[in-house]
Each structure stands twice: as C-alpha cells, then as structure tokens.
Amino acid sequence: MSIALGSLIEQFEKRWPLASAVAWDAPGLVTGSLTQSISRVLLTVDVTAAIVAEAIEGEFDLVLAHHPFLLRPVNNLTEHSAKGNVVSSLIKNNIALYSAHTNADASLSGTTATLAKAIGISDLKGFDAQGSIGTDLSAALGQAQSMSLGEIAANLASVLPQTASSVRVAGSFDQIVNKVALVAGAGDSFADAAYQLGAELFISSDLRHHVVLELLERAKAAGREFGVIDISHWAAEWLWLEVAASELASENSDLTFQVCDVRTDVWDFVVNPSGNQAGLA
C-alpha cells in the first residue's frame, strides 16, 4: 500500500503546523512531487550522504528529517558540492525529503517533551527565551520529584543513544532537584530564562563555556544550588524519532516508518590524559 506524498504532508502539517515554526526556520518539503507514491519512510535527525545511502539501500520513498537540509542559502547545487551531491542523489532515486523542525519541537510530543518523559520529568510547561510561560514546549519546565542530580544524569546516560561526548554535568552529584528546565536542541538562548524561572537544573545541548560559567557563578553568589547538564544534540533529538514514527504508523498502518540508526553526532572519540582513545569506532 502507498499514499500520495501530498496527503502524507497534510498529516505532517496537521501534527506539526508550519505556522508554529520560528521565523528563521525552514521546515517543509525540500525534494519530491506531491503526487508521488510513498510506502516507506525513513526518519532521521540530520540529512547526510550516509543517510541518503541508507535510504537508497532500504528502498525508502521519503526521508523525514528533523533538521532542515537547506536552512542556510547556498549558491549552487552542483554534484561535487556537499549539498548538491545529496539533493542529486535524492532526485535521481525518486526519494522525497521533508523536515519538521521547530514546529515539531513545539508539540506536546516533540523533542523536549520526549526527552523529559524519558527521564521522568513531568508536569511540563513551556517557556520562551524572555521567561514567559506558554504552550510551546520547545523549552519546558517540569518536576523531577526530588531526584538527585547524579540520578538524573544517570537516567540520561541510560536512555540516550551512545555518543563519544556522553553526558557532561556541572554541579553536586547529591544535589536534590525538583524543578528542571529542558531544551533538547541547542539551548544557550534559554539558559538565562531557565535560571530566572527558578529551575534548579538546566538540561540542554551545545552549551557554551561562558554561558554555563555565568550561570554557575550567579548561583554561587546568590547562595543557590544550580546544576547544568550538557548532552549530545543528535542524541537528545533522536529519541523523538521513535515517537514520531509510532504516531505516524498508528495513522497509516499500511506504511512503513523506520528510524534510521546511522549516528550523525559529529564527535567520534575522546582521548584521556594517558593518550588512550575512548569513544566510538
């Protein structure tokens, strides 16, 4: 069985409205015809040459990605360029490409909500970078119910797919945490709001040294316990793919929705002081 791409996109945009994407984002259809038949869908965080090779080998008709492939302007799509090579391969193999990014982050079962559920954070409320409470769950505040910082970090390590950088923690292992702020993707811009809203822990990805240092110093000066956990951007958002695949499969029982297990986290290994390599091959 199959479905027209246009009909499937209607489902996507009902579930993840394009209007809920932030202004700088570029979700939606990148390659493909609205009339082409779709029976096999591959879900991925990123779109790379390796992902496209996986889609070709698995005879998928559509790649549903979280990150937009053409977020920034390009001057050409020649086949010897990175972007052009991927687009050319998709078109030659009649594979459509669609992305659901910040519009998917915002949903009740989006990337941040999925991450929170996976580690036992409940009662989520959305907030924005200015500190206002809302319904958009791209950034969320929730309750950890008196778990220690160490326990939360261990929970993260157990549910996230393995990466070289793993889970990095700032704070006391035994610190008891009740109020947690989370942003599954890059969360620097939400860090100050998380602190101002009374979070005792901020969990996010791609956190910069100066942002974290300032938060920790502010907390010390105020006599306040505050922890920060930095996790892999790819790993944090990969969890959502299983949720999206399950939701879509329940609506389209005759189609195949498969999560791609190709790791697109950018780091391959770490080296300890003895010079020994640790990480992923």
Q: Answer yes or no: do 111 and 228 share one domain.
A: yes
Tens-digit pLDDT profile for residues 165-189: 889 999 999 999 999 999 999 999 9
- The backbone region for 198, taken as left when phi is positive above 0, alpha when psi lies in -120 to 50, beta otherwise, is left
| Confidence at residue 113, expressed as pLDDT on a 0 to 100 scale | 98
Domain contains 209: yes
| Confidence at residue 39, expressed as pLDDT on a 0 to 100 scale | 98
Confirm if 176 and 147 have CB atoms less than 8 A apart: yes
In the chain, % of residues over pLDDT 70: 97
Domain contains 248: no
Give the HSE-up count for residue 157: Cα atoms under 13 Å, Cβ half-sphere: 13
| pLDDT confidence tier of residue 279, bands split at 50, 70 and 90 | low
Domain contains 243: no
Backbone angles phi, psi at 147, to 5 degrees: -90, 150
Tens-digit pLDDT profile for residues 239-277: 999 999 999 999 999 999 999 999 999 999 988 777 555
Domain contains 161: yes
Q: Answer yes or no: do 28 and 14 share one domain.
A: yes
Mean pLDDT for all residues in the chain: 95
Beta bridge partners of 143: 122, 179
Confirm if 232 and 165 have CB atoms less than 8 A apart: yes
Domain contains 226: yes
Domain contains 128: yes
Residues 44, 48, 54, CA angle at the centre, nearest 5°? Answer: 65
| Confidence at residue 166, expressed as pLDDT on a 0 to 100 scale | 85
| Confidence at residue 278, expressed as pLDDT on a 0 to 100 scale | 52
Q: Answer yes or no: do 214 and 112 share one domain.
A: yes
Q: Answer yes or no: do 39 and 143 share one domain.
A: no
Backbone angles phi, psi at 278, to 5 degrees: -135, 135
CATH at 27: 3.40.1390.30
Domain contains 264: no
- Domain count of the fold of the chain: 2
Domain contains 39: yes
Q: Answer yes or no: do 156 and 37 share one domain.
A: no
234 pLDDT above the threshold of 80:
yes
Domain span holding position 49: 3-101
Q: Answer yes or no: do 225 and 126 share one domain.
A: yes
Q: Answer yes or no: do 152 and 181 share one domain.
A: yes
| Confidence at residue 275, expressed as pLDDT on a 0 to 100 scale | 59
| Confidence at residue 203, expressed as pLDDT on a 0 to 100 scale | 98
d(CA 200, CA 185): 19
Confirm if 259 and 125 have CB atoms less than 8 A apart: no
String of DSSP letters for 223-242: T---EEEEE-HHHHHHHHHH
